[in-house]
Amino acid sequence: MDPLSLLRGVLDTTEDAARALVGRERIRLAVTGLSRAGKTVFLTSLIANLIAAGRGARTLPALSDATGGRIRRVFVVPAGTETVPRFDPEAHLGALAADPPRWPERTEDFSTLSIAIDVERRTSLGGLLPERRLTLNLIDYPGEWLLDLPMLRQDYATWSAETLARCRRGVRATAAAGFLAFLDALPADAPAEDALAKRGYTLYRDALRACRDAHGLRFLQPGRFLNPGPRGEAPLLWFFPLPEGARGGLADLCARRYAAYLDDQRSTFLDPYFSRFHRQVVLVDVLGALHAGEEAFRDTGDALSAVAAIVSGANWLERLLGAAPTRVAFAATKADHVPTRARDALAALVEHIAFGARGRAAQSGASVSCHAVAAIRCTEDAVARLDGQAVAAVRGVLLQDGRGATIYPGEVPMKPPEPDFWDAGLFSMPEFRPPRLDPAGSSGMPHLGLDALLAWLIGDLL
């Protein structure tokens, strides 16, 4: 049988799936990531490994242990009448099961998927009870939208002042040159003309795109300017930050649209979805940021700490939205890009940049945790030689040409590095080829730390 038909069998022809019995107990787990963090791969590996765990494989040992080994069956719930796009497990798992395996195509927007998990139950005397069926609702949303959360605490003037100060610094000033020149030529009392508003919006949006694509920056607001979602680029988005002192009709129009944008994000995303998430994981490619240089690294850190300040202060979010996730994990992805001994440093680094020197212990509200994971492990530890010295490295198969390669990824600091760290030169990582998924779905995908992350996130609910 060809791999795809086998996979199809894994995904939707089980008897249970056909009956589509959805458990009454639901766990809503939201997964997001700052752009290119590895969200699609994370979700795909999560699904493959849960399915394999349901078939008795010990692919997620820490999760199995957290649940006392009671996970019995796991299957993807077939599509019903959902009104939002569905995460496409068949296509994503199919890419990994291909020969040679490919990385799944990335997802851009909002999608969901339900996984049914049957868990064994016993009486206190050890007698078997009917199994409990839980539905794990996975909600995948663009990390760009997460960066709208800090805006909820700012009025238009404060947001404008902060955003423009950032825009005028470092590489951002180059990426935003066209937008800044437009602002400089704009009279303080510019009228409320839509042609002007739209021109400013387009220039500002292009500056955000350049910051992201050419410079690896991540603190980019508002989120929908980069990822407009299913409703496209509506006039609601035609605003941009204006300098202090702007007081004409255009300033009023931008302030009104800023407020309307936040109201709209609240009513279409935060209230119906975000406030109902039980658990949330935020993925960040910290290594990628480290390799992209000082400015990209600092910017990723600023974005992460702004988000961390909001989601871990759950009391504030709860007052605002009525409810908020009760556990939030921050995970540095692609941890297989560094050798074993550097992985603890990676987890420490993500904690440091999210929560500052005092770490997560200083936080109240949502329970937070920081991790280093590789959703799909593509490398083994190896030794390379650098200037005649043996250094800890990783070895994997290159995606490009299928050759084996040993790569030294540089050192991972446990906290944001001192300026001279950047003088040593930057490292870049190649894209590794993922291992091939067994199309029968019984052995899962190799990973690093996915089980411990899941055990912390949902282990208590299973």
Closer by beta carbon to ligand GDP, 20 or else 429: 429
Q: Is 253 in the site for ligand GDP (CB under 6 A)?
A: no
39 binds ligand GDP (CB under 6 A): yes
The closest of 146, 133, 116, 142 to 14, measured between CA atoms, is 116
Residue 431 found at the interface with ligand GDP (CB under 6 A): yes
Span 105-124, contacts to ligand GDP by CB under 6 A: 106-107
Considering only residues 7, 31, 40, 92, which one is a binding residue for ligand GDP as defined by CB under 6 A?
A: 40
Among the listed residues 49, 111, 221, 333, the single contact to ligand GDP using CB under 6 A: 333
CB 202 within 8 A of CB 242: no
User: By the 8 A CB rule, do 204 and 182 touch?
Assistant: no
Minimum CB–partner distance for residue 55 and ligand GDP (Å): 22
Q: Where are the beta strands (DSSP E) in 21-124?
A: 25-33, 71-76, 111-122
Q: Which window, 30-38, 186-194, 273-281, 411-419, contacts ligand GDP (CB under 6 A)?
A: 30-38
x/- letters, 377..406, toward ligand GDP (CB under 6 A): -x----------------------------
| Binding status of residue 452 toward ligand GDP by CB under 6 A | no
Nearest CA among 284, 3, 349, 347 for reference residue 143: 284
* Six token digits for residue 74: 């796991």
Tell me the sheet residues that pair with 344: none
Task: Choose the stretch contacting ligand GDP; rule: CB under 6 A; options: 33-41, 121-129, 212-220, 361-369.
Answer: 33-41
Binder among 10, 31, 37, 349 for ligand GDP (CB under 6 A)? 37
Residue pair 372/302 in contact (Cβ under 8 Å)? The answer is no
- Interface with ligand GDP includes 36 (CB under 6 A)? yes
CB atoms under 10 Å from CB of 382, counted, come to 17
> What Rg, from alpha-carbon coordinates, does the chain have?
23
- Pick between residue 249 and residue 430 the one whose CB is nearest to ligand GDP: 430
374 contributes a contact to ligand GDP by CB under 6 A: yes
Q: Which of 75, 103, 261, 274 binds ligand GDP (CB under 6 A)?
A: 103
Taking CB under 6 A as the rule, does residue 336 contact ligand GDP?
yes
Tell which one of 138, 376, 407, 457 touches ligand GDP (CB under 6 A).
Answer: 376
Order of strands, sheet of 25-33, starting from the edge strand that comes earlier in the sequence: 71-76, 111-122, 128-140, 25-33, 279-284, 327-332, 367-372
Among 215-223, 244-252, 292-300, 329-337, the segment contacting ligand GDP (CB under 6 A)? 329-337
Minimal distance, residue 156 CB to ligand GDP, in Å? 30
Binder among 10, 11, 27, 41 for ligand GDP (CB under 6 A): 41
Query: Interface with ligand GDP includes 38 (CB under 6 A)?
Result: yes
Q: Which own/partner pairs from 173-176 qualify as long-range (CB within 8 Å, at least 24 positions apart)? A: 175/207, 175/210, 175/211, 175/214, 175/215, 175/217, 176/204, 176/207, 176/210, 176/211
Task: Give the Cα separation of 384 and 394 in Å (integer).
Answer: 8
Cα–Cα distance, 255 to 274 (Å, whole number) = 25
Name the site residues for ligand GDP (rule: CB under 6 A).
33, 36-41, 103, 106-107, 333-334, 336-337, 374-376, 378, 431-432
